[in-house]
């Protein structure tokens, strides 16, 4: 019941923001700009986003290999696509990362290691995006001289600091030794073996320097690819803003989406894109159209995951939901 209520709240926020943005733009002009979009640039944007998904599977594969899990790159790409389908298209309680972890668990038989590999993969990706957001927020505050940007810079620095500190604590042996007493409590004794396996899986990455470094490097490549997606969409709509500003704004837009207040980021992403691109002279209609096309690309690249799931139906949402509490 609580999850259903949360989903309804997110949908309400999404619809409210989109309705507000539509009320502030010339819809006829925006529709005309969308109708004249360059199909070749849109195809390039779609290909670039598929490339980003493939790179994401590669960087996850590195972490799975560090855990000595036998799963091919093709299998991990399948789990990633199915995860994107559930995470981006369905208003369900099953998250994309849960689907990914479940798929790898079924393939490897290592439940805790599979879950930890997805967790660490997500953490490293956030490190790359937050790092880029901090740098770009500082550059934006200097080059664009807007008071709001200084506040965004402060927020990104604080968020990045808290996140990195939390990630460090997660891998810390000292912290692990100090909190293990809680599993002596009667209510938690039963899950102590599982907690020990999770801890052991986390500790594998303490010495997997190469896997972590390559994962962060590939995460940075994903930042570049998604920035080029924005740029290709902008070119398709005739936006002549230099590529530099797309690199400037993409991590900042992604940073705002870390706050899970809407359905799949729709709404806050559009509002943020309109705000940032308006700083460099892009009309609101064009900025909103760019963001909506970007979201459409996300939806289109998620569709193959639905086909893969339907063909195998090995990742049934009910089965995943039943296994999620464990």
Q: Within a domain: residue 173?
A: yes
Report pLDDT for 93. Answer: 45
Taking the CA atoms of the chain, what radius of gyration do you get in angstroms? 21
Task: Tell me what pLDDT residue 157 has.
Answer: 77
For residues 40 and 150, the model is more confident at 40
* Residue 75 within any structural domain of the chain: yes
What's 183's DSSP letter? G
Q: Is the pLDDT of residue 16 over 60?
A: yes
Contacts (Cβ under 8 Å, ≥6 apart) of 191: 183
In a domain, 73, yes or no: yes
Q: How many CA atoms lie within 13 A of 286 on its CB side?
A: 21
Residue 23, domain member (yes or no): no
Domain assignment present for 25: no
Query: How would you classify residue 47: left for phi > 0, otherwise alpha for psi between -120 and 50, otherwise beta?
Result: alpha
pLDDT at 325: 39
Q: Is residue 33 part of a domain?
A: no
DSSP class of 198: H
Q: Report phi then psi at 172, rounded to 5.
A: -70, 125
What residues have CB less than 8 Å from 106, skipping those under 6 apart?
A: 314
Q: How many CA atoms lie within 13 A of 90 on its CB side?
A: 17
How far apart (Å, rounded) are the C-alpha atoms in residues 89 and 266?
11
The pLDDT score that the predictor gives to residue 159 is 76
Whether residue 260 has pLDDT greater than 80: no
Cα–Cα–Cα angle for 64, 67, 73, nearest 5°?
Answer: 20
Taking 80 as the threshold, does the pLDDT of residue 137 lie above it?
no
What is the span of the domain harbouring residue 84? 2-12+38-323
**Strand, coil or helix: what is 263?**
coil
Number of domains in the chain: 1
The pLDDT, as a whole number, for residue 138 is 79
Q: Which residues contact 300 (CB under 8 A, 6 or more apart)?
A: 46
The pLDDT value given to residue 2: 59
Residue 68 lies in a domain: yes
d(CA 275, CA 288): 10
pTM: 0.84
Distance in angstroms (rounded) separating the CA atoms of residues 154 and 160: 10
Q: Can you state the angle between helices 209-236 and 111-144, rounded to 10 degrees?
A: 50
Angle, CA 135 vertex, CA 129 and CA 140 arms, to 5°: 115
Distance CA 158, CA 195 (A): 30
Q: Which of 39-43, 105-109, 193-197 has the lowest mean pLDDT?
A: 193-197
Whole-number pLDDT of residue 293:
95
As separate numbers, helices (DSSP H) first and strands (DSSP E) second, the chain gives 14, 0
In a domain, 92, yes or no: yes
């Amino acid at each position: 019941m609580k999850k259903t209520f949360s989903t309804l709240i997110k949908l309400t926020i999404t619809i409210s923001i989109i309705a507000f943005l539509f009320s502030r733009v010339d819809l006829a002009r925006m529709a005309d700009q969308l109708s004249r979009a360059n199909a070749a640039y849109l195809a390039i944007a779609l290909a670039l986003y598929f490339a980003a998904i493939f790179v994401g599977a590669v960087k996850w594969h590195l972490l799975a290999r560090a855990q000595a899990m036998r799963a091919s790159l093709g299998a991990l790409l399948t789990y990633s696509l199915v995860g994107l389908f559930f995470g981006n298209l369905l208003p369900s309680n099953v998250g994309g990362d849960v689907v990914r972890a479940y798929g790898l668990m079924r393939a490897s038989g290592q439940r805790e290691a599979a879950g930890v590999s997805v967790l660490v993969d997500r953490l490293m990706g956030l490190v790359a995006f937050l790092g880029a957001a901090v740098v770009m927020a500082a550059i934006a505050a200097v080059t664009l001289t807007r008071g709001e940007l200084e506040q965004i810079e402060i927020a990104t620095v604080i968020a990045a600091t808290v996140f990195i500190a939390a990630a460090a604590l997660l891998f810390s042996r000292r912290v692990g030794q100090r909190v293990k007493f809680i599993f002596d409590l009667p209510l938690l004794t039963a899950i102590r073996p599982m907690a020990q396996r999770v801890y052991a899986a986390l500790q594998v990455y303490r010495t997997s320097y190469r896997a972590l470094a390559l994962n962060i490097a590939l995460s940075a490549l994903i930042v570049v690819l998604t920035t080029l997606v924005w740029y290709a969409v902008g070119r398709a709509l005739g936006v002549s803003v230099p590529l530099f500003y797309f690199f400037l704004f993409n991590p900042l837009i992604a940073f705002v989406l870390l706050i899970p207040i809407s359905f799949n980021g729709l709404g806050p992403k559009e509002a943020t894109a309109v705000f940032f691109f308006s700083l460099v002279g892009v009309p609101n209609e064009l900025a909103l159209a760019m963001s909506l096309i970007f979201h459409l690309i996300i939806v289109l690249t998620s569709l193959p995951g639905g086909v893969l799931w339907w063909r195998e139906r090995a990742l049934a949402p009910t089965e995943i939901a039943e296994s999620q509490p464990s």
